Amino acid sequence: MERANDSTFTGFILLGFSDKPHLETALFVVILIIYLLSFVGNGTIILLSIMDSHLHTPMYFFLSNLSFMDLCLTTCTIPQTLVNFKGKDKTITYGGCVAQLFIASGLGGVECVLLSVMAYDRYAAVCHPLRYTVIMYPQLCLQLVVTAWLGSFGNSVVQTALTMSLPLCGKNHVDHFFCEIPVMLKLACTSTSINEAELFAIGLFFLVVPLSLILLSYGHIAHAVLKIKSAQGRWKAFGTCSSHLLVVVIFFGTLISMYLQTPSRYSQDVNKSIALFYTFVTPLLNPLIYTLRNKEVKEALRRLVGRAIDSRES
């Protein structure tokens, strides 16, 4: 975006919930607690995936990448939000806004691709258990993750450049708590129809295509599970996939409601509420869902704590 015409332009003002000042103190406390819990939860998953040899599998390799992505997303947005909630100065520098826009957009794409890759991993584990290690070999897992990160951030470079090249005409009040593409488009003083169409097309690619692949994978999984004669076997197969499916529903539900509509039709209050859930609550829910419903992670945590206690006693 072209900067304001005067030379005193220093950045943007994030309005956040300044029209509801009674909410800001409560939100500050809640978001700070969520951030700390999310940091501990996702950090624990990453630590366990690295240190426990029992978790050196494709599933936990992808899960640790998802946790790292969540850590990056919360660290990109929450500290600035807390500063703005607590203090009177609600500004963010031009460079800081660009960085937020680029990182948040890229990480959203990474999660979309990672969740579809994780669905394929569950499909291979349930439908082809004897060939699982052949299908999901380490080099393929690494290639899939690298493709997710490079492809998503490559797209983010383009999205950020197109958004920030639009003329501002002196507008610098962002009616949000962080810099996000649809909100920044509303600041432009020129037609954004091309940008909106391009954003919608990218949204289809990064949301609808991965979601379709996920549904296809789970369709095959459901078909395979129904063929299992043992009720215990069916529950075990269902248990390996239910956590991932719950994360998919939460994540894609929030993003589709945010991005598969034109920015001109956004209700800012609704959009801010959805963004709060996506950027703050979802990164907390992911480790809770995966750890509370996963015996392997619980056992790995017990082993890690046990080793820590033994090392102190010795």
Q: Is 42 exposed, middle or buried (0-12, 13-18, 19+ CB in 10 A)?
A: buried
Looking at the structure of the chain, the number of domains it has is: 1
Does residue 76 belong to any structural domain of this protein?
yes
Give the pLDDT of residue 241. 73
Close Cβ partners of 71 (under 8 Å, ≥ 6 residues apart): 38, 39, 42, 43, 46, 283
Q: Within a domain: residue 5?
A: no
CB 80 within 8 A of CB 178: yes
Is 1 inside a domain boundary?
Answer: no
Q: Is residue 49 part of a domain?
A: yes
Strand partners, 13: 91, 173
Asked if the structure places residue 116 within a domain, the reply is yes
Q: With helix as H, strand as E and coil as C, how does 38-59 read?
A: HHHHHHHHHHHHHHCHHHCCHH
Pairing of strands 11-14, 91-93: antiparallel
Residue 149 to residue 147: CA distance in whole angstroms? 6
Contact present, 184 and 101 (Cβ < 8 Å): yes
Residues (pLDDT < 70) of the chain are 1-10, 18-19, 233, 236-237, 239-240, 258-269, 292-293, 310, 313-314
pLDDT of residue 7: 44
Q: Could you tell me the residue range of the domain that residue 109 belongs to?
A: 11-313
The answer to the question of residue 6 being in a domain is no
Q: Are 179 and 101 in contact (CB under 8 A)?
A: yes
pLDDT tens for each residue of 57-89: 998 999 999 999 999 999 998 888 888 887 777
**Per-residue confidence (pLDDT) for residue 98, from 0 to 100:** 92
CATH number, domain with residue 38: 1.20.1070.10
Residue 3 in domain: no
Please indicate, yes or no, if residue 255 is contained in any of the structural domains: yes
pLDDT given at position 147: 95
